[in-house]
Amino acid sequence: MRTPHPESPPPLRTRRHRVLPGFGLTLGTTLLFLSLIVLLPLSAAFIRTAGLTWDEFWAQVTSPRVLASYRLTFGAALAAAAANAFFGVIVAWVLVRYEFPGRKIVDALVDLPFALPTAVAGIALTALYAPTGWIGRALDPLGVKVAYTPLGIWVALTFIGLPFIVRTVQPVLEELEPELEEAAATLGATRLQTLARVVLPALLPATCTGFTLALARGIGEYGSVVFISGNMPLRTEITPLLIVTKLEQYDYAGATALAVVMLVVSFTLLFGVQVLQRWFFSPERHGR
Amino acid sequence: MSATASTLVHVAAPHRRRTLADPPWLKRILLTIALGFVGLFLVIPLAAVFVEALRGGLRLYGAALTEPDALSAVWLTLLAAGIAVPCNVIFGLAAAWTIAKFDFRGKSVLTTLIDLPFAVSPVIAGLVYVLMFGAQGWMGEWLADRDLRIIFATPGIVLATIFVTFPLVARELIPLMQAQGRDEELAALTLGAGGWKTFWRVTLPNAKWGLFYGVVLCNARAMGEFGAVSVVSGHIRGETNTIPLHVEILYNEYQTQAAFAVASLLTLLALLTMLLKSIIEWRHRRALLAAAHAETRTFAS
């Protein structure tokens, strides 16, 4: 960065950085792509829905079948994100703090749900948890049915959500200063007290962020769920599937109204993540 | 959403020798829980794909992959990814240049908007294109008059693929190029290089690993996308089926072994992606360390 001459007035920020060329070209390209690929199509959903009266819209998005799908989708996504918050923090802890054979492989494997196409995850989990599958066969005598029940949806969403928690908690854990833990130990805390009072609170912001990301992903998830859920209306039908069903029946108004509800929920969660991150990582909180 | 973003730029603090260790019993419990969870949710499903795929022997496995519908699905998937990935590379480079090299009002809004497709359910991503280009859509009549098909045809599949992979390249490049700053570009310009030359000779080489990383992730997602493509494809066999859609059809027709055989192709792609990701992260870490060393040398001399 150039230092301005002492006598000259401080240069305008925007002016100084425009020394580099290509601002107009790259901003234009970015906005063009963004508008054509993302914003215009998304606005189509809202504009289409604006053609409905409020009563029509309300009837579409609160019919019993739709309400059942909300309960299932949000319930399963919440339960899966909660399970991931618990197990994901432990996995991150083990990966960062312990040495064990195969650690690097486990670390790389955590990305599997990101890399594996959702349809493949869906059929693999269904094959495992169906009453004839490796795991389903063991659970069946116990009276536990996983495939084609809400429990199966939870399994799929837990698979999908795992990396979100691990990959947000891991870097925070790597940068956690050991001095804090040492101080706690010096002051007489047992290891468990240190973990509960010093380490876990420090991981809370990242865990909350990861939880919200996993939740948002779980609510919209389709590919891994449709195979294992069985897709019975009112029982195991998630909201994204209901959108597809309505679309296949040429019920465009119904599908679009549901999509708008889901978009509003997703955007709220996305906004929530931004607020969370800004709050947790604001300079005031770190005393800088 | 942001989970993969910071992994590349983030350089791990060197592992410090712990003066504090967890008691052995706690270590054992946590290791058991973590490895048990990873084993149950990640390793077993991964193994299941290959076991099911090879259940009928190698000959059936090969037959499932070389059948004409499977080949046309592979071709369509390669085509869709072959168009979607370059589009997102151009977009990603433009967005990263704007956001990383300039300050302007609304920058954080723009960054958020780029992430938007990650917050949208894949099904809705498909739906919005049906609303635009479908028979009942905004441009439906106009397209029908000109005998153009987007929905239930290849263009729709490509568009939906671009949508779901939209942020992937950009969000790898933006933090990387932000961290690199603009000093080198300014130096190149001062020495008389033009804008494009600066980009090709300075910016692109600096960002090449980030770009490659973004391309790898983008390609994996593009080839594996199911929900969005499923809505716009119409599932016409041998015509508008991508590999994931072909897997679905085979599975629903109880051709389980064939479904898993085709699925194993995508699984191998996923494993390759994870391998490349690990290698790039490792290399990148080394490159950053080398750069840091070079800097100290320059300042020392």
Q: Number of folded domains in chain A?
A: 1
* Nearest alpha-carbon partner for B118 in A106, A269, A242: A269
Residues 136-195 of A with CB under 8 A from B: 155, 158-159, 162-164, 167-168, 171, 174-175, 178, 181-182, 185, 191-192, 194-195
Give the mean pLDDT of B224-231.
Answer: 94
DSSP state string for B52-121: HHTTT-HHHHHHHHHSHHHHHHHHHHHHHHHHHHHHHHHHHHHHHHHHHH---TTHHHHHHHHHHHHHS-
pLDDT, averaged across chain A: 88
What are the backbone angles phi and psi of residue B54, rounded to the nearest 5°? -100, 5
pLDDT in the model for residue B244: 96
The CA distance from B150 to the nearest CA of chain A, in Å, is 14
Residues 196-225 of A with CB under 8 A from B: 209-210, 213, 216-217, 219-223
Q: Could you say which DSSP state residue A141 is in? A: G
pLDDT, averaged across chain B: 86
Q: Note whether B103 contacts A: Cβ–Cβ < 8 A.
A: yes
pLDDT in the model for residue A282: 67
Contact B150, A41 (CB under 8 A): no
Round to whole Å and give the CA distance between A10 and A16.
Answer: 10
Round to whole Å and give the CA distance between A23 and A4.
Answer: 23
pLDDT in the model for residue B1: 41
* Nearest alpha-carbon partner for B185 in B173, B205, B174, B199: B199
* B44 has pLDDT over 70: yes
Please list every residue in chain A whose beta carbon sits closer than 8 Å to the beta carbon of residue B183.
Answer: 1
Round to whole Å and give the CA distance between B273 and B277.
Answer: 6
pLDDT in the model for residue B235: 79
pLDDT in the model for residue A15: 47
- Which tops the pLDDT comparison, A196 or B91? B91
* B8 has pLDDT over 50: no
pLDDT in the model for residue B89: 96
**Assigned token pair, B286:** 């080394």
Residue A104's identity, in one-letter code, is: K
pLDDT in the model for residue B287: 63
pLDDT band, residue A285 (cuts 50/70/90): low
Residue A53 lies in a domain: no
Residue A81 lies in a domain: yes
The CA distance from A163 to the nearest CA of chain B, in Å, is 7
* B124 has pLDDT over 90: yes
Residue A32 lies in a domain: no
Round to whole Å and give the CA distance between A78 and A88.
Answer: 14
Round to whole Å and give the CA distance between A145 and B124.
Answer: 30
pLDDT in the model for residue B7: 43
When mean pLDDT is compared across A182-186, B11-15, B125-129, B165-169, the lowest value belongs to B11-15
What CATH number does the domain containing A259 carry?
1.10.3720.10
pLDDT in the model for residue B9: 45
pLDDT in the model for residue A237: 94
Q: Note whether B244 contacts A: Cβ–Cβ < 8 A.
A: yes
* B296 has pLDDT over 50: no
Q: Report the chain A residue with the minimal C-alpha distance to residue B12.
A: A174
When mean pLDDT is compared across A96-110, A270-284, B145-159, the lowest value belongs to A270-284
Name residues whose C-beta falls within 8 Å of residue A10's C-beta, 6 or more positions apart in sequence.
A4
pLDDT in the model for residue B3: 43
Residue A247 lies in a domain: yes
State the complex-level ipTM.
0.86
Round to whole Å and give the CA distance between B288 and A61.
Answer: 52
Round to whole Å and give the CA distance between A100 and B241.
Answer: 44
pLDDT in the model for residue B110: 93
pLDDT in the model for residue B85: 97
pLDDT band, residue B229 (cuts 50/70/90): very high
pLDDT in the model for residue B238: 78
Is B226 in contact with A119 (Cβ distance < 8 A)?
yes
Name residues whose C-beta falls within 8 Å of residue A1's C-beta, 6 or more positions apart in sequence.
B181, B183
pLDDT in the model for residue B294: 47
Residue A111 lies in a domain: yes
Residue A132 lies in a domain: yes
pLDDT in the model for residue B283: 79
* A177 has pLDDT over 90: no
Round to whole Å and give the CA distance between B234 and B134.
Answer: 11
The CA distance from A74 to the nearest CA of chain B, in Å, is 13
Round to whole Å and give the CA distance between B218 and B210.
Answer: 12
Model confidence, pTM: 0.88
pLDDT tens-digit readout, B171-212: 899 988 988 888 899 999 989 888 899 999 999 999 998 899
**Assigned token pair, B92:** 């990603």
Round to whole Å and give the CA distance between A260 and A66.
Answer: 13
Give the mean pLDDT of A218-233.
Answer: 92
pLDDT in the model for residue B12: 44
**Assigned token pair, B114:** 């780029």
Round to whole Å and give the CA distance between B18 and B213.
Answer: 32
* B295 has pLDDT over 80: no
Round to whole Å and give the CA distance between A165 and A144.
Answer: 28
- Structural domain of A90: 62-280
* B99 has pLDDT over 50: yes
Residue A200 lies in a domain: yes
pLDDT tens-digit readout, A110-162: 999 999 999 999 999 999 999 999 999 999 899 899 999 999 999 999 999 99
* B29 has pLDDT over 90: yes
Residues 87-126 of A with CB under 8 A from B: 87, 90-91, 93-95, 97-98, 100, 104, 106, 108-121, 123-125
Interface test with B, best of A14, A33, A276 (most B CBs within 10 A): A33
pLDDT in the model for residue B219: 96
Q: Note whether B27 contacts A: Cβ–Cβ < 8 A.
A: yes
pLDDT tens-digit readout, B68-87: 999 999 999 999 999 999 99
Is A219 in contact with B277 (Cβ distance < 8 A)?
no
pLDDT band, residue B4 (cuts 50/70/90): very low
